[in-house]
Each structure stands twice: as C-alpha cells, then as structure tokens.
Chain A
Amino acid sequence: MMFGRRAFLQFAAGAVGGTLLSPLPWKLADDSAIWSQNWSWRPSPERGPITKKATICTLCEGGCGIRARLVNGNRAVLLEGNPEHPINRGGICPLAASGLQFLYAPYRITQPIKQTQKRGEASGFKPIPWDEAMSELLDKLVNLRTGGTPHAVACITGQGQGSMRDLWQQFFDAYGSPNFFQMPSHSDSLKLAAFLTLGKEEPLAFALEKASYILSFGSDLIGGWGSPGRMLALWGDWNAAQSENKTPSAKIIQIESRCSMSAAKADRWIPIIPGSEAALALGIAHVMVKENLYDTSYVATNVFGFEDWTDSQGKARQGFKSFLLASENSLEEASRRTGLEPAKIVELAKDFATQPNAVAVWGKSRDLPEKVHHELAFLALNVLKGNLKSQGMISLAPSVPLGPMPQVLADEVAQQGLARKSLDQVKAQDIPLSRKSLYGFLKNLSEAPSYPIEVLMIHEANPAYSLPGNQVFQKAIQKVGWVVSFSSYMDETSLQADIILPNHTAFERYDDVIGVPGLPQAYYAVAAPILPPQWNTRHSGDVLLQMSKNMGGSVADALPWKSYDAFLQDRVKGLAASGRGAVAQTSARQLQETPEGASPKANYKDGADLWKKLASGQCWYDAPQNPLQLVQSPSGKIELAFQSLQSKELEAGKDEQCLPNFSSIALSGNEKEYPLTLVSYQALFLSHGYLPNPPFMTKTLWDFILRNDDSFVELHPETARSLGLDEGNRAVLKTPAGECIVRVHLFPGARLDVIYMPQGLGHKAYDQYIQSKGANPNELLEVQMDPVSGLGTAWAARAQLRRA
C-alpha cells in the first residue's frame, strides 16, 4: 500500500494532536525550566556546618583581628573583622575581605618547582620533590661555606616586622653573610630620625586617639597610612554623629598636592607643590618661633640645639632657632617652595600652636622611606609643640619583650663572611648614617659588584614589580648565580627564580605581628592558620630551620628549634616570662586607652596559656612609654641639632646639614623635554605591594582608574587641555626611566602640570584576572638616594605626556 500524502497529513495531524493531549509537552516544559535553573556548569557550593575561627591578618603589618567562616571545617568562605579585636574593632579592609582569594588563588605555586630552561621562561618550571629541592639549596649553601664565601649568599625579605625577619637575621648571622635585606619601609627613615633626635633607633608612634587637631603632611590617613584597621576605626570615631554620643571629633588638616580621599574628607585641604611638605613644616616652625608660639618652657628644658651651640671642638654652631629665622627659611621662602600664600602658613601655624592636642603626622605610605632631613623637619615641628613628653602625642614605639634569640657563636667561616662589608656598603663611605639599603645592594650588584652573589633568596617580596625603579632589580638579578624564591605565588619575581620553594599563604601558617605601625602601645599577636595547607607547600621558617639543622655546627646551634611553630612558642614563653603586659579582652578600646605608665596586669598564667590565648586570635599589649625617659642622645636631651650626624659637609661648616632642613628634589631629565611631574599615589582599594590586586577588588575599581587593559593617569582639566587631551584619551607617558600607554582622567583635584598615577596595576605575572591590566608606575619613577642614609626615596619623576 502506498503511504499517500493524505495519509501522511492525517498521521501528522493526529500525532500533533495526540502529543498535545499527552502530558509530554507539559513535562518537557517543566523539565526545561528545571534544567535551566541548575545547568551543570553552574557551581553549587557544598553545604555543611559553619564554624568561625579567629586569627590575626598578616596581609599587611596593621595587626587587625579577623575571623574566618569555615564550612565543614575545611573550606574557608569569608573573612570578617573580629569585633573583639582592639585594633580594627570589627571592621575589615578590602584586602583582608578578599584575603581568601589569595588562599584559593589559581596562580599559587602548589609544589616546589625548578626552572629547566632559561631564567624567566614561564613554561620552563618543572615540579621537583621537596627533598630534592631542599638538598639542592643545602648543597649550594654548604659549598659556599666550604669555599669560604658565605657572604655570597643574600636574602631579600618582604616581612619587615615579624619573627620571620628575626629568624632570617639569626640565620645570616650564624651562616656568615651580611647581605640580608628587607624591602623598603617608612620606618627605615623614621627610625633614623628618632635616632638623631632621641638617640634611639626606634620607629615613632602617634597617640592619635586623643588628638584634637591633626596636621597631616601628605599622609593618606584613611588611605593606608600606619595600620589601616586602626586608622579607619579611628576615622569612624572622629566622624561619629552627635547622636552617637562619642568623643569630640579631631580636626584634620590634610596637606598634599593631590586631593586624595583623606584630603577630600578632611576638615581642610591645603594643596601645595608636590614634595614640599617638609618646607611647609619648616615654614610653620618659622612662624611659631618668630611669633613665639612654640612651647617655650618645654623647649628650654628638654631640647638641645634650639639655640646656637658650641661643639666639642669649641666651634660655634647654628641652632634650630637662628636657622629658622635666617633668610633662607623666611615665610616668603616657605611660600615660594610650597606654593601657598604666606597668610595661610601663618594661619596654620597659629591653629597648630593653639590647639591643645595638636600633632603633625607625616609619611606618604608605609613602604616609602623619606629623606631623613625631611623626617627631622616634621619631628622638629612636633618638638616645638612639645609633643614628645610624658602622655604626649608622640612617643617611641615600645619594644616587645619576646624571648631572646640564642647567642650566635659564629664559627670561623661565619666570622670571615660577616667581616665583609655588605654589598650595599661597599661604596657607602660618604653616607653618614648608612644603614642596610636594598637599593644600594641592587645598584652595586647590577654595576660592578666587588664580590659576586651566588645565591639570592627572596622571601615574600616582589621587587621585580613593587620596587620603585624596579629596572635596577632586573639588572641586578642577571648577576646572581642562583635565585631562590619562597613565594606562594607565581609573581614577577618568582618568574625570575631558578627554584621556588613555595611558602604557605598567610592563612595556612603560624606567623606573628610585633608592634603596629604608629601605635604608641606595645602590641604582639600570633596569626594562627585557619586551614591546613591546601597544597604541597612548606613554611619558609621550617625550610630555614631544616636547612640550619642539616648544616650542623654553629648554624644548627643558633637555630635550635624543631619547627617555626616551636620557635614562636618559645618567643611567647619569653614574653610571658617577662610578666609584662596583658591580653586584650573583649573591651574594644581598652588597648588604645591604656595610658603611659599604667601597664595592665598580666592576665595570663604562663607561656602555654599566653600562647593559647594568642593563637585564638587575641593580642597582647602594654602601655606606651614616656619618650623623655628614653632619650639617649649625646646631649641627653631631645636634639634639634644632631650631634650624632657627622659628615663631610658638617666638617666643612655647613651647619644646616645637622639641622632639620628642606631640600627640593632635583629630578633628572630635561625640563623642556619633560615639562610635567609624575607622582604616584596609593589607595586602600588597590593593593600595591607584595600582594596583587585580587579580583574582588579589581571589580570595584572605577572605570576611570582601569578600562579594559588601560589604566588612567589623573590630570587637571586645564593641563589636559593644554596638552590637547580629553577624558579617556590614550596617551604615551614618558619619563627618563621609561614609557607606557595610559588613558587620561580629568580630575580637578590634580595640581596643574602634575600627573598622578596609582600604584598596584600593570602586573605581568599571575593570571588573567591580574596580568596586563594597566601600567606600573614603578617602572617610571626615579629613585633618589638620600645622602644622609643611603636609602632610596622614590615618589616622582619628570614626565611628558602626548596623545597616543
């Protein structure tokens, strides 16, 4: 039988009708909706009981308390501020809030790897077992000692404050190399200022909690200065509504060239020429002295070098007072240097002088040393105000009485090694206050080192990216025989390594925080892991201890601990043994409100008890110190003319060299070719140091900071107009150090002829969420060596900008 057209049509109609009457279409519709709700590629988080674990955040040095929320005890889903912690009081910064993105980062190094091709070849890394990696490093270290050249080993660490730093130091002392370096920090220069003024090389601390008037010389108080947790909590207090019944607010005067968030939110923004903050400090000091607005009795009793003085050789020397009153420090001169009208300077001086709890703070950021003379100028302004005294606004950061390190009994090889000058010091004869300088080290290494560096170990630092003027690192590393990285991440520096021994991340390991930057109270906290290591990584401290043990002899004796945890427990035991301080309990402001001399009563039983408390996220604290009681300067007083500062200039009779003074920066490059000034800035919403900006934070970036792969520079609309540029235009930014492509953002908060560029973008490593986004100002900035300390200061460069 033929299956005719008609039969076919009938069949089709019947089929359609029949299907429609059956449940099939309805079931299919329903199923399709369900399927579209749960399509398989949409991740579904595993459920389970939720617990919280308190610890301390070590992503920066701020010492904030945090809590991790865990699912099933093995999956961390959120970090939040610990409301019982006195530093941050429950708040959290964006970096810590995204902290787990480092723990679970796809760019983590999950096991030891070794470069099998040319250095820098990302595809050349091949996994090797831990034992093999460790023995390779051990062999090199042992061989160098056998060969009598332990000084050919160097280390750069990015951990400036914790016990890990001390452990490295101990290792280098025992091993016999002077070449142990830290990434630059503001405390490097701050300590020197304290040394010259007070005779104690300790960082300074500011009792901002009781301030009523703050002159901020370029310090982005709410943008990352000091401890962000403390500063932001404090900022909340200062701006608390009347209805909240809080202490009266502090008045904040922000002095800087760019309208930073601190400037925009301050009670007053004083815009000045970039880099002239210290000149303004001297200008204010000038007015205070001239108009007798300074604390005369305080200065008369406690200060040396305010009046003219005679040195040990009987030579008459200029004092700070006559220096300030001299014509080169006149009000007009200050006005010329800062670009501020004289009347405004006088007004600021009067306000500052008359406010009861006025304090001047300074320092652009935690990781930028400043010129020592500038540090001294800011400090001198506070001295005139009488701020360094008992219960004063400024004191020295107290030390924490941790258990001491065992005495290093350096063997012969070590003694020989340590007898060599560290590589940065080789050409440093002219530097009066020469301290360890990473820039000096890298510069000498990249040029013609007096001895080779065979092994360079880099620990939790990313100088290839985050060091201003990072070209010097790129050059220096070429001269190094073997580069070891301890990083957890495949960052720009790790890419240059020959071998990588990955550390645990901050949340998988024990660590500690010794002191909080800028906090007058003593502080100690232990960061306990929130999760066991997720990958086949090892604590760098354990690696170091293992290495020492295998080396044997005096090295093993100097580092006797089984593990890094044991080392920390040992230190805490020592802290408990001192009987000082107490563990901060729930009361939130107890720590900051502890006044000088009122040491809290110890509330821990013994070392084990203290460890238990600290490991559960609590912190130890102690009262601030009276700076006047700690003065150890040659005169026994606070010095404004620095007798400890000996230099050729001083001998040549240039008295201002031993007084706080201002020198404007002389940037290299032709003014005609580079008519503009490039200044970089930092912000709390953009991570700029060792840690790259995590995706959570990148998502919140404004589209006038980053658009696609271009980052923006800020320009005043008038400057932009004169350059023929408009909002969003692409342009070539060129400085004597290098050039890059940027986009232009018109920003009325930018000073004329100054280009502002954020720190934290322009990575070349990591993953697609981070790399190739924007430009890195560190490649464009000019590093200047401070003649007093040999520290590299870097924040600007001459620049030109033209349409791309």
Chain B
Amino acid sequence: MDKALIPEGVRRCSLPAFGIWILVLAALIGWGVYAGVVVLIQALNVTGLNNHFGFGLYITADLAIIALGAGAFFSGFLYYGLSRFFPALRELHKIINLAVIVGFVCYTGALAVLLLEIGQPLRGWFGYWHANVHSMLTEVIFCITCYAIVLVIEYVPIVLKNRKLDAIHPVRIFGHTLHDMMAIFALTGTFLSFFHQGSLGGVAGVLFARPFAYRTGFFVWPWTFFLFILSAIASGPAFTALVCRSMEIVTRKKLVDRSVYELISKIVGTLLSIYILLKIADTVYWAFFLSPELGFKLGDYYRAPYGMWLLFTEIILCGVLPAILLTASRGRQNHFIVFSSFLLVCIGVIINRFVMTVQTLATPVMPFDKWEVYVPTIYEWAPIIAMLAYCALILSLSYRYLPLFPREKELNTIS
C-alpha cells in the first residue's frame, strides 16, 4: 500500500506488520508523554529526585544517550573530515546515514527529556538570555541546541532522498545542495559536539566541593571534559554498529558490508584503548592523590548498593576487556566477540555517566552526613523508555521509507 514511498529495489515487511510495530512504539511514547505531562503539571515531586539527588535518571539517561549518539558526529568527522587523508575511512559512507539518524534521535530525544528535568521549563530559554559563561551547563545548553539544529540539517537531505520527495524537482535540488554542504555541517557539528561532550564531562568535573566528581584539569576544563569526549567517540561508533546489527537481525538482511564492522571495531578498539589508559591514569591520580588531599579515601566513595563493583565493571569489565578484545585482530574476526565488546563498551559508558551523576550525589561529603540511595520512579522511567521508543520509531520510519544503506540492494539480491 505504501509501496510508492518505499525506496526502489528493496524489500520491506508488510504494512500491517509494520503498523503493529509502530503502534507498539506509539503506545510506549504515549505512555512516556503522559508521564511527562504529569511531571509538568504536578511538578517534579512525582519523581524519585530529592534535595540530595538533584540529578537522577533523566540526567544519567541524557548523558548516556548523548554519549552513545556521538557515533554521528564522530563518524561524520571521520568520513567528511579525515577520509581525505585516510582513504580507508571511506568505507564509513555505507553507515553514515544511519549514524546521522542515530545522532539526530539521540539528541532530540535528550532535549525532550531535558525539558522535563528542569523545574521551570517555561524559563528554559533563560539559559540563552541570562547565560553565565562560567557554567558548564551554559556550554551544554548552547552546544546541545546548536548541534541538534545541525543534526536536523544533516537529517533533512536524507529525508529528502525519499522516492516521492526526490521526485519533486526543487526539493531534489535543495537536498542535493544541502548534501554538498554536508562536510561543513559535519565539521561544525563535530566541533560543537566535541565541545558538548566535554562540557557534559565538565558538569561533574568542576564540582570542586564534590570530591567524588571533582577533577583537576587543563586550563578551564577538568580532565573529565576530555575523558567524556574520548569515551563518547569510542562508544558512539560502537553503538551505531550495534544499532545497525540489531536492524540486520530484525530485518533478517545484510545492510552493510562486514568490512564496515571491522573498520568500526578497529576504530573503537584504538580509541577505547587510549581512553581506558587515560581513564585508569585519571582514576589512580584521583584515588591516590587528589582525594586524600581533600580528605577522602577511595573506600569512602563506595558503599552498597553503589559498591566497588561499579568501578570494577566500568573500568575492567567494560573497558580493559573490550579494549583488549577489539585490539587483537583475532578478536575482531569473531562476530560474537565484536558485538559483545561493543555492548560492553556501551554499558561501560552508561555506568560512567551513572556514577558521575548519581554516585557523586550519593557519596556524603560531610562526615556526619548520611549515605542515601536514589530510586527513580515510573515517572522517570516512562519518559526515558518513551525516548528510546521514539528513537526506534524514527529509525524504523527512516529505514522503511528512506534509502539509508547504499549497499542494501547489492547485499540482498533476490535469488
């Protein structure tokens, strides 16, 4: 029925099957939107946040999804920026559209959740109006909106590639022009989002009265600024690859060449190794030099349920281990190992964003202070789940109606 909209020469599932899937997603989104409306009307008291945990699941999810969505800017940077110098990176054009869409959904989704997170959403624009140049959050606000706009601009030409839209001449010209300028946007976006990741890291790192989060740094930026960038560019492509692989599994098709995955695992392996080495160096300096200066021992930071296992999982299990596996060429041969490593990397980044947000706040700073535990409520989970459903929805629609994968046709010739 919707044949006319589907890209030429590819097969898609039947409309009713697709419709059911969309309905499921829409229901989840509806649920999240309902929860969001409740939060806006009844205020944040419906969440699990409190005066101890000013930040919680919303921020954790935002930080995580933005880090994982970083595949977009970094792939863009590699493809549009570096492939001139490293032709091997040209391979990435096979997945770049997907990367852009993942970035787009992650950023717009995160923005929607941010709207719920602030107590006075109607004053959200004060961030531009009364900007405090010292605040990392100001950087975040500026970068996130600018980059979201860039992502929209990057997404538009992909949308315009739709068969029907492409048939309209002026639209086609417009799309093509945009596409030609894409390198500029990609690079602008790269700068913005590099900076943005950094500021997100800075948000925690500058809290000089929160020894768990506080880091010294370079110029005005704490080390977390750079670590966040590194961890994002290491995990972003991994996440894009994971998304792609999941789509392959769901659609039972080959969407990209294996070589793309291999390239990505090389990139991830290298970056992750660099990141995790620096992260370990940072952790050692923080645990044994910085913290004692502030009067804290490593043991002061970890108590059930936020125990040492978090540190171990984040750095060893989800850092060192996948770094080793992905750097070894034998590891890269094995699909299972590659995607498990990607998954671990993503989990590691999520844990990192979680501890930098929630554990920072759980750790008592005053010696007579209590150790509190944060339990998010359904009003926090629902919008987050809805955000993920929204990501899936956009991806599904894009996959069905837009030519995302240039190699799809060749890889799935009907025999």
Contact = CB atoms under 8 A, between A and B. Distances in A.
Real binding pair: yes
Interface in A23-52: 29, 32-33, 35-36
A7 to B, nearest CB: 15
Contacts of B123: 33, 36
B51 interface: no
A217 B61 CA distance: 59
- Residue of B120, B122, B125 contacting most chain A CB atoms (<10 Å): B122
Interface string B115-143: 00000101101100000000000000000
Contacts of B122: 29, 32-33, 35-36
A33 B119 CA distance: 12
A33 B125 CA distance: 9
Contacts of B125: 29, 33
Contacts, number: 11
A599 B32 CA distance: 79
B130 to A, nearest CB: 11
Contacts of A35: 122
Nearest to A6: B168
Interface string B87-127: 00000000000000000000000000000000010110110
A745 B23 CA distance: 51
A36 B126 CA distance: 13
Nearest to A33: B123
Contacts of A36: 120, 122-123
A29 B120 CA distance: 12
State the majority secondary structure of interface residues on A: helix
B168 to A, nearest CB: 10
A334 to B, nearest CB: 38
A23 to B, nearest CB: 15
B45 to A, nearest CB: 15
A32 B126 CA distance: 12
Interface residues of B, number: 5
Nearest to B119: A36
Nearest to A29: B125
Nearest to A28: B122
A35 B120 CA distance: 11
Interface in B172-199: none
A662 B122 CA distance: 71
Interface in A228-286: none
Contacts of A32: 122
A335 B126 CA distance: 72
Contacts of B120: 36
A68 B353 CA distance: 52
B62 to A, nearest CB: 23
A409 B27 CA distance: 88
Nearest to A26: B125
Contacts of B126: 33
B13 to A, nearest CB: 28
A29 B122 CA distance: 7
Contacts of A29: 122, 125
A35 B123 CA distance: 10
A147 B389 CA distance: 86
Nearest to B123: A33
B131 to A, nearest CB: 15
A351 B122 CA distance: 69
Contacts of A33: 122-123, 125-126
A35 B122 CA distance: 9
Nearest to B370: A703
Nearest to A31: B122
A29 B123 CA distance: 8
Interface string B6-24: 0000000000000000000
B387 to A, nearest CB: 24
A763 B122 CA distance: 42
A72 to B, nearest CB: 32
A29 B126 CA distance: 10
Nearest to B125: A29
A243 B393 CA distance: 72
A703 to B, nearest CB: 10
A506 to B, nearest CB: 35
A286 to B, nearest CB: 43
A142 B128 CA distance: 79
A33 B122 CA distance: 6
A35 B121 CA distance: 12
A258 B302 CA distance: 35
A32 B124 CA distance: 11
Nearest to A32: B122
A187 B225 CA distance: 70
Nearest to A36: B122
Nearest to B168: A6
A40 to B, nearest CB: 15
A41 to B, nearest CB: 12
A36 B122 CA distance: 7
A673 B126 CA distance: 67
Interface string B138-153: 0000000000000000
A133 B125 CA distance: 62
A693 to B, nearest CB: 23
A656 B56 CA distance: 70
A759 B122 CA distance: 46
A32 B120 CA distance: 10
A546 B122 CA distance: 61
A29 B128 CA distance: 13
A602 B120 CA distance: 63
A527 B364 CA distance: 48
A29 B121 CA distance: 11
A697 B126 CA distance: 37
B385 to A, nearest CB: 28
A220 B385 CA distance: 56
A622 B210 CA distance: 58
A33 B118 CA distance: 13
Nearest to B121: A36
A36 B123 CA distance: 8
B114 to A, nearest CB: 17
A29 to B, nearest CB: 6
B391 to A, nearest CB: 26
B380 to A, nearest CB: 22
A699 to B, nearest CB: 14
A35 B126 CA distance: 14
Interface string A598-631: 0000000000000000000000000000000000
Interface string A689-726: 00000000000000000000000000000000000000
B44 to A, nearest CB: 14
B295 to A, nearest CB: 26
B194 to A, nearest CB: 30
A25 to B, nearest CB: 10
A63 to B, nearest CB: 37
A33 B123 CA distance: 5
A13 to B, nearest CB: 13
A150 B6 CA distance: 102
B401 to A, nearest CB: 18
A33 B126 CA distance: 9
A33 B120 CA distance: 9
Nearest to B126: A33
A5 to B, nearest CB: 12
A32 B40 CA distance: 14
A31 to B, nearest CB: 9
A178 B152 CA distance: 91
A191 B279 CA distance: 76
A28 to B, nearest CB: 10
B52 to A, nearest CB: 13
11 contacts: A29-B122, A29-B125, A32-B122, A33-B122, A33-B123, A33-B125, A33-B126, A35-B122, A36-B120, A36-B122, A36-B123
Given A33-B123, A36-B122, 6 more contacts: A29-B122, A29-B125, A32-B122, A35-B122, A36-B120, A36-B123
Interface of B: 120, 122-123, 125-126
Interface of A: 29, 32-33, 35-36
Which 9 pairs from chain A and chain B are nearest by CB?
A: A32-B122, A36-B122, A33-B123, A36-B120, A29-B125, A33-B122, A36-B123, A33-B126, A35-B122
